[in-house]
Amino acid sequence: MGYRRKVTKRYMVTEKESQRLAAIDPSLGNSSTERKVLVVSDLRTYFFTREGVVKAVDGVSFFLREDETMGLVGESGCGKTVTCLSILGLISRPGRIVSGHVFLNGEDLLKKSERGMAKIRGRRITMILQDPMTSLNPVLTIGNQVAEAIATHQRVRGHRLWEKTVEILRLVRIPSPEMRLGDYPHHMSGGMRQRVVGAAALSCRPEVLIADECTTSLDVTIQAQYLNLLKEVQNQLHVAMIFITHDLGIVAKMCDRVAVMYAGKIVESAQMRELFHNPLHPYTTALLKSLPKLEGRQKWLTTIEGQPPSLLNLPPGCSFAPRCSQVDDHCLEEYPPSVSANENHTVSCWRAV
Structure pTM? 0.86
CATH code (residue 242): 3.40.50.300
CA–CA gap between residue 237 and residue 167 (Å, rounded): 13
Confidence of residue 342 (pLDDT cuts 50, 70, 90): confident
34 falls in which pLDDT band (50, 70, 90)? low
The whole-number average pLDDT for the span 289-302 is 74
Strand partners, 97: 45
Q: What residues form DSSP beta bridges with 262?
A: 265
Q: How many helices and strands in the chain, by DSSP H and E?
A: 13, 12
Evaluate if residue 155 carries a pLDDT over 90: no
Q: Residues 325, 289: contact at Cβ < 8 Å?
A: no
- Please indicate, yes or no, if residue 3 is contained in any of the structural domains: no
54 or 353, greater pLDDT:
54
245: containing domain: 15-255
Condensed to tens digits (0 to 9), the pLDDT of residues 42-82 reads: 999 999 999 999 999 999 999 999 999 999 999 989 999 99
- Domain membership of residue 176 (yes or no) is yes
Q: What is residue 4's predicted lDDT score, i.e. its pLDDT? A: 43
Residue 180 within a domain: yes
**343 located within any domain:** no
Overall domain count for the chain: 1
pLDDT for the residue numbered 296: 64
Q: Can you tell me whether residue 325 is helix, strand or coil?
A: coil
Q: Do the domain assignments include residue 58?
A: yes
| Averaged confidence pLDDT in the chain | 87
- Residues ≥6 apart with Cβ < 8 Å to 175: none
Residue 294 lies in a domain: no
Residue 309's Cα: distance from chain center in Å?
A: 23
Q: Is residue 42 part of a domain?
A: yes
Any domain includes 269: no
